[in-house]
Chains A and B, each alone.
Chain A
Amino acid sequence: NAGVTQTPKFRVLKTGQSMTLLCAQDMNHEYMYWYRQDPGMGLRLIHYSVGEGTTAKGEVPDGYNVSRLKKQNFLLGLESAAPSQTSVYFCASSYRVHQPQHFGDGTRLSIL
């Protein structure tokens, strides 16, 4: 009963480095989302996907790329990390619109 699993849980990067965050869900959900959570700003949508092979921009997409090659996985990439990308990143999935979004436990990312 894993639900939504995020890898890694913690990471420290230097400015300019790249990395990929992995999200995996085992609920056969169509929709997947990447959010970032910053103090006092709630959750802001970075990118989302409405099915395998599709991606779309959210509120704050700049500096991030995503891919959904398999239905169960949604990858978030940072090509050249910046200190402003220090945040807690959450992945979520849902069966369809207006169904509950199920969240992972987050990835804490620090960019030095």
Chain B
Amino acid sequence: QQQVKQSPQSLIVQKGGISIINCAYENTAFDYFPWYQQFPGKGPALLIAIRPDVSEKKEGRFTISFNKSAKQFSLHIMDSQPGDSATYFCAASNATSGTYKYIFGTGTRLKVLA
């Protein structure tokens, strides 16, 4: 019940295309859903995050779509660029339970072709 399932494992997109990464969870108590971007040799960095009281959040070319009833959320990267090539992790957490832990997905390796 604590898992966050992420798909696909890897993704290849042409420059200018849309990259879509999906995550699903089971624990309805999760109340914070961040996405992290990681470049080789670096630590993950927060990209965008959403709470379940909204269905969509957009920051530049990055959008999170959230479907509370389906217990799914996804990251959309519009106009994908070669510089977006990285590994992306979704995560979920629940502060109200008194724990402070993120549960991370297994990651999606994105390659954007020039």
Contacts and interface: CB of A to CB of B under 8 A. Distances in A.
A100 B46 contact: yes
Interface in B22-58: 31-32, 34, 36, 41-46, 49
A98 B105 contact: no
B89 interface: yes
B73 interface: no
B45 to A, nearest CB: 7
A74 interface: no
A4 B102 contact: no
Contacts of B45: 103
B102 to A, nearest CB: 7
B100 A48 contact: yes
A9 B28 CA distance: 38
Looking at B32, B41, B44, B45, which has the most chain A CB atoms within 10 Å of its CB?
B44
Q: Sorted from nearest, which 9 A-B pairs have the closest CB atoms?
A: A103-B43, A97-B95, A100-B46, A42-B104, A42-B106, A43-B104, A98-B32, A105-B43, A103-B44
Interface of A: 4, 31, 40-45, 48, 50, 58-59, 90, 92, 97-98, 100-106
